[in-house]
Amino acid sequence: MTSNHDTTNIEELLMNLVPIQSASYKTELMQEAIDNWLYEHDLGYTKDKYGNIYVTKGHADLYPTMVCHIDTVHDINKHVTAHKTSSDIIYAIDQSTGQQYGTGGDDKVGIAITMTMLQQYDNFKAVFFLDEEVGCVGSSKCDSSFFDDSTIVLECDRRGSSDFVNKISSTKLYSKKFSKLIKPILKKWGRSECTGGITDVGEIARVNKVMVANMSCGYHNPHSNSETIDIAQVINTYNLCVELFNLTINKRYEYQSLSDRQESYGYTGRMYGGHFHNHTPRINPYYFDDKDEQTEQEEPHFLDDELYNDYEDIVSLPDNCPMCNEQELEYDEMTGEVWCYSCGAYLQSENLNSFNDEQNQSNKNNNQQGTITFK
User: Where along the sequence are the contacts to Zn ion (CB under 5 A)?
Assistant: 106-107, 157
Closest CA relative to residue 195, chosen from 177, 218, 178, 172: 172
Q: Which is nearer to Zn ion, 137 or 185 (CB)?
A: 137
Under the phi-then-psi rule, with left for phi > 0, alpha for psi from -120 to 50, and beta for the rest, what region is 137? alpha
CB of 10 to Zn ion, least distance (A): 18
Q: Which is nearer to Zn ion, 151 or 196 (CB)?
A: 196
CB of 107 to Zn ion, least distance (A): 4
CB of 92 to Zn ion, least distance (A): 15
Are 353 and 365 in contact by the 8 Å Cβ rule? The answer is no
Question: Which amino acid type is present at position 305?
Answer: D
Closest CA relative to residue 90, chosen from 222, 227, 217: 227
CB of 280 to Zn ion, least distance (A): 19
SS3 label, residue 271: helix
Q: Which is nearer to Zn ion, 106 or 328 (CB)?
A: 106
CB of 157 to Zn ion, least distance (A): 4
Could you tell me which residues are beta bridge partners of residue 93? Answer: 81, 100
- Phi and psi (nearest 5°) for 72? -130, 170
CB of 284 to Zn ion, least distance (A): 7
- Phi and psi (nearest 5°) for 158? -150, 145
Closest CA relative to residue 76, chosen from 20, 34, 36, 134: 20
Q: Which is nearer to Zn ion, 157 or 333 (CB)?
A: 157
Q: Which is nearer to Zn ion, 107 or 163 (CB)?
A: 107
CB of 84 to Zn ion, least distance (A): 22
Q: How far apart are CA 283 and CA 133, in angstroms?
A: 9
Helices (H), the chain: 9-17, 28-40, 105-120, 176-188, 200-207, 231-247, 349-366
CB of 42 to Zn ion, least distance (A): 28
Q: Which is nearer to Zn ion, 248 or 316 (CB)?
A: 316
Give 230's Cβ-side CA count (13 Å radius).
16
CB of 68 to Zn ion, least distance (A): 8
Q: How far apart are CA 299 and CA 273, in angstroms?
A: 23
Are 333 and 269 in contact by the 8 Å Cβ rule? The answer is yes
Distance, first Cα to last Cα, the chain: 51
Q: How far apart are CA 91 and CA 194, in angstroms?
A: 28
Cα separations (Å) of 247 from 58, 175, 176?
Answer: 19, 16, 16
Could you tell me which residues are beta bridge partners of residue 63? Answer: 150
Q: Which is nearer to Zn ion, 131 or 157 (CB)?
A: 157
